[in-house]
Amino acid sequence: MLYLLLFFVGPLVYVIALSFMPEGLTGVSLTTTIGEGENARQVLTATSDNYERVVEAGYHRALWTSIKLATISTTILLLICYPLAYGLAKTFGKLSPILTLLFLMPLFVSETIRLYGWSLFFLKGGILNGITATLGLPFPEMMFTTPVIIVGLVNIYFPFMLFPLVDDTLVSASRDLGASRWQTFHKVELPLAKPGLVIGIMLTFVLTLGSMSESQILGGQNVLMIAHSVDFAFSWQQDWPLGAALSVLLIVIVLASMLWLLSRVDFDSLFRRL
């Protein structure tokens, strides 16, 4: 409890309070002085101007871009990883541990190095350009576009979606009782997989929603995500209240999404999986 209060609740409360401070402050203050000399007076500093500036300055577009890319990337990962996890759990047999290790090996390589590897693949004069030139095909200008960022997100966060999801015993029992292949999948396999799916979706959606390196390296300045806007507000603009307001909006979206996801699955089943 002490750890959570010091390193989670405390910073969160501070960021929320900072988001209601006037532009120009770099800390939380209950009152501020207006005027000079005899005309000086103390007034409350709390204001909602920062949240209004999020819309007025167009930062909501970066927020929407982040939500869109996170949703697309999470959906693609789900479509790829569910059948793969099924195969690791039931089909690949003795190869499963080796394949699992291979799928986890990218985690041993820096994210930045992997992203620059993708940039070398997609850049003009890079690997893809060489392949298309060899085949006599036109080179598609893909670098600094949304699809390339999605490729990077899917590649980076692939291991976080990969979970063994199916219990063989109950699946076999359903078939012995006469269930069809579709009935077994819909009534047995999918409900059993739901806790793992929720965990994978939570991990990948939260991580992709708050990602920044992918858009900076693979998207350049053409595709801006909300994490880039937060970094820009805190560092280059030195506008901490605006950066805090953007952070609070991102936190609210993440919490609302996670609460909705957790409401879709039985908690007891989820924690037994964990």
For 101-113, how does the pLDDT look when each residue is reduced to its tens digit (9 = 90+)? 888 888 888 888 9
Least confident interval from 19-23, 115-119, 174-178: 174-178
Residues 142 and 25 in one domain: no
The rounded distance, in Å, linking the Cα atoms of 206 and 184 is 31
- Based on the fold, state whether residues 16 and 126 are members of the same structural domain: no
Could you tell me if 8 and 141 lie in one domain?
Answer: no
Q: Which pLDDT does position 230 carry in this prediction?
A: 93
**Residue 124: which pLDDT band, with cuts at 50, 70 and 90?**
confident
Picking from 141, 118, 139, 143, the residue whose alpha carbon sits closest to that of residue 129 is: 139
Dihedral sign of CA atoms 26, 32, 35, 37 in order: negative
Is residue 52 one of the residues assigned to a domain?
no
Instruction: Grade residue 137 by pLDDT with cuts at 50, 70 and 90.
Output: confident
Q: How many domains does the chain have?
A: 2
Structural domain including 9 reads 1-47
Residues 141, 129: Cα–Cα separation, whole Å: 9
CB 74, CB 205: distance < 8 Å: yes
Structure tokens at 35: 């005027």
Does residue 55 form part of some domain?
no
Mind giving me the DSSP string for 25-37? -SS--SEEEESSG
Longest dimension (CA), the chain: 89
Q: What is the mean pLDDT of residues 26-46?
A: 68
Q: Is residue 76 part of a domain?
A: yes
Q: Is residue 251 in some structural domain?
A: yes
Q: For residues 237 and 192, state if they share a domain.
A: yes
pLDDT at 167: 47
Enumerate residues 6+ apart whose C-beta is below 8 A from 200.
Answer: 77, 78, 81, 160, 161, 162, 163
9 and 144 inside one domain: no
In a domain, 84, yes or no: yes
* Sign of the four-CA dihedral 4, 7, 8, 13: positive
Q: Read off the CATH number of the domain in which 239 is found.
A: 1.10.3720.10
Q: Are residues 87 and 153 in the same domain?
A: yes
- For residue 54, is it within any domain? no
Q: Does 35 map to a domain?
A: yes
Distant-in-sequence, close-in-space partners of 142: CB < 8 Å, separation ≥ 6: 122, 128, 148
Q: Is residue 169 part of a domain?
A: yes
Integer angstrom CA distances of residue 111 from 18, 87, 118, 160, 217: 31, 27, 11, 14, 11
| Alpha-carbon 2 to chain mean position | 28
* Structure tokens belonging to residue 182: 């579709």
Give pLDDT tens digits for 163-221: 645 545 445 555 555 666 666 666 666 666 677 788 888 889 999 998 988 888 998 77
pLDDT digits (tens, 9 = 90+) for 256-272: 988 888 787 665 655 55
Average pLDDT over residues 89-94: 76
In a shared domain, residues 21 and 138: no
What pLDDT score does 32 carry?
67
Burial label for 18, CB within 10 Å (0-12, 13-18, 19+), is: buried
Give the three-state DSSP class for 145: coil
What confidence category does residue 155 fall into, taking pLDDT thresholds of 50, 70 and 90? very high
pTM of the model: 0.81
Do 159 and 268 lie in one domain? The reply is: yes
- The closest alpha carbon to 244, from 28, 7, 67, 68, belongs to 28
The reply to whether 162 and 253 lie within a common domain is yes
268 and 241 belong to one structural domain: yes
Q: Does residue 118 sit in the same domain as residue 30?
A: no
Q: What is the pLDDT of residues 53-65, one digit of tens each?
A: 998 888 889 999 9
- Strands 41-44, 31-34: pairing is antiparallel
Please tell me the distance from the alpha carbon of residue 114 to that of residue 156, in angstroms, as a whole number. Answer: 8
| CA distances from residue 250 to 63, 208, 219, 254 in whole angstroms, order as listed | 8, 12, 21, 6
Which one, of 49, 44, 41, 15, lies nearest residue 29 by Cα?
A: 44
Same domain assignment for residues 180 and 208: yes
